[in-house]
Structure formats: C-alpha cells, structure tokens
Amino acid sequence: MKRWIAILFALSTFAVAACGGDGDTDATATVQAGSATALASATVSQTPGGTNGVVSLGLEQVAGGFTRPTFVTNAGDGSGRLFVVEKPGVISIIKNGKKLDKPFLDLTSVVGSSGNEQGLLGLAFHPGFSQNGRFFVAYTAKNADNTVAEYHVKTTGSDVADAGSGKTLFAVPDKYPNHNGGMLAFGPDGYLYISMGDGGSGGDPDGNGQNLGTLLGKMLRIDVDSGDPYGIPPTNPFAKIAGARSEVWSYGLRNPWRFSFDRQTGDIWIGDVGQNKYEEIDFQAAADKGGANYGWNIMEGLHCFQPPSGCNQDGLVKPVFEYSHDSGGCSVTGGYVYRGAAIPPLRGAYLFTDYCSAKLWATRQEGGTFTTTEIGELPEGVSGFGEDEAGELYIALDQAGTMNRIIAK
C-alpha cells in the first residue's frame, strides 16, 4: 500500500522541465518513487552492437538537497568544483564532495520560476574564468523575458559570486510560459552559444522558428569579448543579411532545451523537444559554417508538421535520431559525448534521455553514420546532464534533487 501511495504521489507531482506537447505531460511514464539513491541500469559497448569492452553503468550520488536541479557544470579553473543550477534561481557549489551551505549566486529576486519550464536554466563559465572571473546565466525573468546575463566573482577562486555584478545581454520578450530554451555553452571558437525556444504555446503560432528576424526558435552565437554588451562574430551566417538577426547561428528549432559541444571534436549535439509526436537529436559537425535550418515548424522530427503532408523539405537539416511519443517519451533531454577516462567503452558515445520515459540512449557517429542504441533506464526524469573538468558525466535527478555521477558498476 505504501508503495502505491508513493508512486501516485510521484505521478501527481510530475512536471516537465522542457515540455513536449504544450505542457501536457504523459503521466504513463515509468517513475520509481523515492529513488534518490537508486542506480540506473545501462549497458554500453565500444562499437554499435559489439561486445568488445562492454560495461554496465550505474549512478553514484555525489550530493543531494538541491531544488529541481536543471543543470550542472564546471568552471574550467582547475578547482574541481561542480556548479549546480537550481530552477528557483540558485547556483550551488559541490566542493570536495559536499554541497556548500552558501550559494554561489542567488538570483531568486529576479528569476520567475512559476511555470514548469521557467526558472534559472543555464550557466556557462568564460573560457578565461580562472583569470577574469566572468560567467553567464540564462533565466526566465519575473516578466517572463528570456534573459541572458553576465556576472563575475570579485576574487579568483571565490565560492561566492558578486551578486551586484549582473549585466543583461538579452531580455527577449516571450508571450508563453513554455519553450524558453535556456542552454549556454562556449564553443571551441571562444564564442558563446545560446539556445532560444520558439516562445511557446503549441505548433509555433507566430512562426518564430522559420523567421530569421526574431531570436526565438534559434541557436545564437555572440562574442562576449568585444562590443557592449556583446559583439557579433563577423562570420555569423546572417550577419550581413537584411531583415535577419545577426546573432542567429542556426534556426528552425522548437525548444533546444539542451545542447552541447563534443569537447574532443567540437561537434554540436542538440536535443530539440518535439510537439506531440516526435523528439529529436540534431547534429552539426564542427567544420560547419552555421546557418542550418533544423526544420521546425515545417517538420517535427522526420515528419511534415505544417502542412501535415507534402511539406517542402528543401534545405532542411534532418535529425540524426528521432523517437516517437508512442514509446512513452514526452521531452528529450540532450546530454554529452562522453570523453572521460573512467569508462573507456563509453568514450565517443553521446548520451541523452527522455524526461518522461527516463530511457537512456547512446548515439555514436562514424563517418557520418549515426547509430543510436537504447542502453538503459534512469531512476526518474532528468532535466540536465553535465561534465566535470575531466569529462566525467553527471545527471541531475529533478524530483529527487540529487546530483549523480555516471560510473562503471
């Protein structure tokens, strides 16, 4: 009886961080309640379908006590610290295996986190953080603007940021509470990449994804080392196109909630959250010059969306993997290509999951061919993955409020 109560509770409080289907959550997901320390079960092999170097994966809880953690990252400063982004507006530090009592930064006074997908969503440290102390956050403002702001620490190595140092780079008006993007990451080119959702509602009613004149439904690329508050890289694909926003790097995205760079190759992997039917993974090779159109809202995954059949697919970049909501999924959470040292058979695999089904997949790319394998299941919905300085991977269990390292069992 107790078990059933626990499961029902988990379903009733089930919330999607980056929704598919306009906030309708598929509550048929497999959720193990009270699983804060449960292990994921996953098996990977070095080559698709191969047995060489097979390893079983597990989760090791690093720290708990977080409120709806959406992301985790490192500062690249040799400190070994992990920085955990919490949806209500706090960044906490895990140092020497312990969550510090005092937050690194508390933005609850400016963050609006009432909607499922609103809150403090992203964090990226400047590549020169160890010298300049600069870092960037993405959040939903109290007035719902999709906001990107810069902060800094006053002294190198400080565990507390200067809360008064905030400078706004973007405050993009947004009519709907969903599809707010929210990922930030520096590319190997030193530019800051930003994901923006299509604004929300359902079906992209304003056509933002295909409109190069708006920042919504895009990946942006900016130079935070020139201009005020930022500069435009001269090689941005639409920098000189009349009517297009010069910040746009790629477009046709619905809600690119999480994207990442492969730290070894510089390739970009995007988990773009689908509408009611299909979730997708998009890929851009490091050598690509930008300007890709990933298809939304002409297509949802590999399928015509508007119009529902016979859509014009000329020039659209198709996903390298899609899965249907029929399999229990509702919202893809993109992860990282594993480049750590601890789990050799996992190297080169891009890991991602679905918030509802909690299935874990691994995609490998070899010579332009992508092979995706379902490798296991996580204890519950995951809003964000993250990397430490050594390239080991972490996942944030949303409801359990824990940060967990992926390990070989």
Residues contributing to the site for Ca ion (CB under 5 A)? 174, 176, 179-180, 199-200, 294-295
Would you say 92 or 180 has its CB closer to Ca ion?
180
Residue 322 CB contacts under 8 Å (≥ 6 apart), including other chains = 274, 278, 279, 280, 281, 301, 302
Q: Which is nearer to Ca ion, 255 or 402 (CB)?
A: 255
Question: What residue is closest to Ca ion based on CB?
Answer: 200
Please give the structure tokens belonging to residue 310: 């016979």
Contact 260, 268 (CB under 8 A): yes
**What is the C-alpha to C-alpha distance for residues 31 and 14, in angstroms, rounded to an integer?**
9
Closest of 206, 208, 213 to residue 241, by C-alpha: 213
Q: Which is nearer to Ca ion, 217 or 237 (CB)?
A: 217
Closer by beta carbon to Ca ion, 176 or else 321: 176
Percent helix, percent strand, percent coil in the chain, to nearest 5:
5, 35, 55
For the bound state, the minimum distance from the C-beta of residue 267 to Ca ion, rounded and expressed in Å, comes to: 17
- Other C-beta atoms closer than 10 Å to the C-beta of 327 total 12
Cβ 275 to Ca ion shortest distance, Å: 10
CB of 179: closest distance to Ca ion in angstroms? 5
Instruction: Give the residue among 175, 179, 123 at the shortest CA–CA distance from 149.
Output: 123
Question: What does 26-73 look like in DSSP terms, one character per residue?
Answer: -TTS---TT-TTPPPEEEE-SSTT--TT-EEEEEEEEE---SSEEEEE
Closest contact distance (angstroms) between CB of 283 and Ca ion is 11
Q: Which is nearer to Ca ion, 71 or 294 (CB)?
A: 294
Q: Shortest distance, CB of residue 319 to Ca ion, whole angstroms?
A: 5
Rg (Cα) of the chain, in Å, rounded?
A: 20
Q: For the CB of residue 316, give the shortest distance to Ca ion in the complex, in Å.
A: 7
Spatial separation of the C-alpha atoms in residues 82 and 99, rounded to whole Å: 9
Long-range CB contact pairs, 47-51, < 8 A, 24+:
47/364, 48/364, 48/371, 48/373, 49/371, 49/373
CB-based contact 139:110 (threshold 8 Å): yes
Nearer to Ca ion, 191 or 294 (CB): 294
Shortest reach from residue 294's CB to Ca ion, in Å? 4
Q: Count H helices and E strands in the chain, helices first.
A: 2, 28
Q: How far is the CB of 175 from Ca ion (least distance, A)?
A: 7
**Distance of alpha carbon 376 from the chain centroid:** 20
Nearer to Ca ion, 200 or 217 (CB): 200
Give the shortest CB-407-to-Ca ion separation in angstroms: 33
74 vs 363 by CB, closer to Ca ion: 363
Nearer to Ca ion, 24 or 60 (CB): 24
